[in-house]
Amino acid sequence: VKDIEGVAEVGASSHGAHRRIAHLDMDAFFASVELLEHPELKGLPVVVGGRRPVASEPGKGYPRLKDYVGRGVATTATYEARAFGVHSGMGLMKAAALAPDAILLPAHFEAYGKASRAFKAAVAELAPVIEDRGIDEIYIDLTEVPGEARELALKLKEAVRQATGLTCSIGITPNKLLSKIASELQKPNGITILGLEDIPARIWPLPCGAINGIGPKATAKLEAFQIRTIGDLAKANRDWLVEHFGRSHGAWLHEAAHGRDDRPLAMSREPKSISRETTFERDLHPRLDREALSLILLDLCERLAQDLARKRYLARCVGIKLRFEDFTTITRVQSLSVPIADAASLREAARASLKRVALDRRLRLLGLRAGDLVKVDEYQPPPTAPSRVAEPGLFTDLNP
DNA sequence: TCTGGGGTCCTAGGACCC
DNA sequence: TCTGGGGTCCTAGGACCC
């Protein structure tokens, strides 16, 4: 048996054509959690988002989208709000133009985190092999779980509803790629079960963007070659795709269009980085608003230090992120010889990176990232390095 | 009416080494 | 006095996702 390097196998059944993988996606998750708190809003267009709660006019009930002023975006919209064209990631000022009377609720992340843990625990009772894909979705390996696919999907949905009061949509297919697409097909509150034989009829008519990993840029580039549906993409010659999209990406596009995907579920992963960033209420000038920026940086350092402490990580590199008024974004990272986690050290590292940037334009965002993470418990300071003696010696020779 | 915050992965180019 | 070809590591930026 050949050993596949770098691939962590999850049981013998994790590869091959006979897998049964589910993708479970909560329906309009944040908005649905809010509706549990405000059942009287059910059936109305509701948007969750914004930076801080907008004060609604007294006696007028819930704040409306049209009352919002600022840089917030919609985090989630109920299906009623989506009918107006509002979708997550959309600027609220733009959303207000589409649905001025939609109700705007601020986000309550603690509540979403709680509901998230609850639905994942409920699923884990029925099927323990789960890959976490964020707050509102998971992949589930059902290969070893007895029962018919539809029956299992119904059981999962019922367990989620019991645990949270919320609905979800489920796709079940032989792999992650197809299940992700499938779970979208009958949203909300849907079940879609597909086999490889269903690919031509059910997958190929969909736009290329339905594939997880094909975003706006790739869609536009494909469109320029008259490739609009996944079927168009499947017809494209593999070598031609490699020629125009690169060896790796081109080959992947070809595989994806044919519904081929043998990625195993990743049951647990160490974080690669932890970051904090903030967009200002108004653009700030590096010199004129120096004090305000300094306080914002301090706050980011403190919050990031808290995150690192809570998760018990040290950072071997610290990066800053600046977004200018014209939305151009730059990053600078600083590698550290000794890993750190405290706010003061983070600030020192951030300031060192800041010195390498020409600060001549107004800023709209400042971010701080801890990378190259090591677990506090696993970090051993190296035995006192002899190189500390050698390096200064070099300079004393040059500058006696 | 300009575009949040938290992440991952990939690539290109330069430094450095052999 | 000019010239190789790889390999690896690092940094910055960008695409994409939830």
Average pLDDT over chain A, rounded to an integer: 90
Question: Looking at residue A389, what is its pLDDT?
Answer: 44
> What are φ and ψ of residue A304, in 5° steps?
-65, -40
| Nearest nucleotide by C1' position to the A328 CA atom | C13
Tell me which amino acid residue A81 is.
Answer: A
Average pLDDT over residues A10-19: 58
pLDDT band with cut points at 50, 70 and 90 for residue A393: very low
Strand B nucleotides where any atom sits below 7 Å of a protein CB = 1-12
Q: A215: Cβ under 7 Å from strand C?
A: yes
Q: Is the per-residue pLDDT at A315 higher than 50? A: yes
Q: Is the per-residue pLDDT at A299 higher than 70? A: yes
Average pLDDT over residues A311-331: 96
Question: Looking at residue A379, what is its pLDDT?
Answer: 87
| Among A34, A80, A131, A137, the one annotated catalytic | A137
Q: Is the per-residue pLDDT at A382 higher than 90? A: no
The rounded percent of chain A whose pLDDT value lies above 90 is 85
SS (H, E, C) chain A: CCCCCCCCCCCHHHCCCCCCEEEEEECCHHHHHHHHHCHHHCCCCEEEECCCCCCCCCCCCCCEHHHCCCCCEEEEECHHHHCCCCCCCCEHHHHHHHCCCCEEECCCHHHHHHHHHHHHHHHHHHCCCEEECCCCEEEEECCCCCCCHHHHHHHHHHHHHHHHCCCEEEEEECCHHHHHHHHHHCCCCCEEECCHHHHHHHHCCCEHHHCCCCCHHHHHHHHHCCCCEHHHHHHCCHHHHHHHHCHHHHHHHHHHHCCCCCCCCCCCCCCCEEEEEEEEEEEECCCCCHHHHHHHHHHHHHHHHHHHHHHCEEEEEEEEEEEECCCCEEEEEEEEEEEECCHHHHHHHHHHHHCCCCCCCCEEEEEEEEEEEEEHHHCCCCCCCCHHHHHHHHHHHHCC
Q: Is the per-residue pLDDT at A53 higher than 90? A: no
Query: pLDDT, tens digit, for every residue of A238-261?
Result: 999 999 999 899 999 999 999 999
Listed residue (A106, A98, A169, A101) closest to A138, CA to CA: A169
Distance A336 CA to B2 C1' (A): 37
Q: Is the per-residue pLDDT at A15 higher than 80? A: no
Clarify whether A80 is annotated catalytic.
Answer: no
Tell me the residue length of chain A.
400
Query: pLDDT, tens digit, for every residue of A280-289?
Result: 999 999 999 9
Question: Looking at residue A9, what is its pLDDT?
Answer: 43
Q: A133: Cβ under 7 Å from strand C?
A: yes
Q: Is the per-residue pLDDT at A1 higher than 70? A: no
Footprint of strand B on the protein (CB under 7 A): A 51, 70-73, 75, 88-89, 91, 93-94, 97, 134, 246-249, 271-279, 307, 326-327, 364-365, 367, 369
